[in-house]
Chains A and B, each alone.
Chain A
Amino acid sequence: MNFLKSLETSASGLYAERKRMDIIASNLSNIETTRTEEGGPYRRKMVVMSTKEMDQGFDDVFNNSLKGVQIEDVVEDKTPFKKVYNPGHPDADKNGYVLKPNVDLVVETTNMLMARRAFEANIAAIKATREMVMKALEIGR
C-alpha cells in the first residue's frame, strides 16, 4: 500500500534527523574537550546524508524513483583546531598554547535549528498522510 510507503519514507527522514541531532549534541558537549582516545582535542563530526531505496515490493517496479533518506557516513571536520593561550592548562604546549576542538557554537546551533525544522517538516508530512488515511477509511461507512 502506497500510504505505508509514504509513512516509511517520512520515518526514514525522522530517523536521519534525530541521528544528526545526536551528532550535534556530541559536538556541543565536547566543545571544550582537549583529551580524546585518539589523542589530541575532540574533532567536530558531521553527518553525510544520502538517498535510500525503500524496500521494493511488486508494485514498486513502476515507481522505483521513490526515495527515502539515510545517514551514509559520519565524517570528521578537517578544519584546524583553535589555539588558545592558556599557560596554566595541563595540555598547554611549551609556548603556553592549548589546542581546543574545532567546534563552533554558532555553527552547531544553526545546524541544530535546521535539523529541528527538517524533523518538524517530516512530522507534518506524517500528519498529512495520516489525515488522508483517516479520510479514506470513511469510504464505505
Chain B
Amino acid sequence: MPDKLSFAKTFHALEKAISIAQQRNSYITSNISNIDTPGYKPKDIDFKSELASALETNRTVDLEKTDPRHISLENNGRQIVEPYEEEREWNGYNWVNIDKEMTKLSENNLIYRSAVEVLLRKISLLKEVIKEGGQ
C-alpha cells in the first residue's frame, strides 16, 4: 500500500478487517454445517487479536524474491489466520453449540458490513476531495 495516498492507513486497516471477517465467516459456516457430525470440534478465529497482529506485523504470504528488482506484495498478500479449537461443553454428540454459532454468525456479519460501510464512506470522502479540488 503506497504511504503517500491519503487514508492509506485507514484503508489498510479496513482491508485487513474485511479479510479477517470473511475468513471467520467460513469457519463459522463450517461449524454450522457440522452441527450433526459426531465428535466434531468447532474452530474459530479471534477477530480482535488477528486484526491487531495483522496491523502490527507482516504475517502475510509474500512472493519469493531472488532478485532485488522483483516486485513484492508489500503486505497486501493473503492474511494468514490461525484458527483455534474452541473450548465448549460436550453436548453428548459433539462440541458444537448452535446458539453460539448463530450469534457469532450475525455478529461477524455486522462487523463485516460495518467495515465495508466505513470503507465506502472513506472512498466517497476521497471522491469529494478530488471533485472539489478540481474545480
Residues of A within 8 A of B (CB): 2-3, 5-7, 9-10, 12-13, 16-17, 20, 48-51, 59, 62-63, 65-69, 114-115, 117-118, 121-122, 124-126, 128-129, 131-132, 135-136, 138-141
Contacts and interface: CB of A to CB of B under 8 A. Distances in A.
Contact of A135 (B43, B81, B113): B113
A62 B35 contact: no
Contact of B102 (A66, A114, A124): A124
Contacts of B21: 132
B9 interface: no
Interface residues of B, number: 38
Main SS of chain A's interface residues? helix
Interface string B68-92: 0000000000101101000000000
Contacts of B113: 131-132, 135
Interface of B is mostly: helix
A68 B106 CA distance: 20
Contacts of A131: 109, 113
A17 B36 contact: yes
Contacts of B32: 10, 13, 121-122, 124-125
Contacts, number: 113
Contact of A49 (B36, B80, B98, B108): B36
Contacts of A9: 26, 29-30, 33
Interface in B88-126: 98, 101-102, 105-106, 108-109, 112-113, 116-117, 119-120, 123
Given A10-B29, A51-B40, A125-B105, A62 B80 contact: yes
A68 B102 contact: no
A52 B117 CA distance: 35
Given A128-B106, A140-B123, A67 B34 contact: yes
A136 to B, nearest CB: 6
Contact of A121 (B81, B102, B117): B102
A121 B98 CA distance: 8
Interface in B1-58: 18, 21-23, 25-30, 32-38, 40, 43
A96 to B, nearest CB: 40
B33 A13 contact: yes
B61 interface: yes
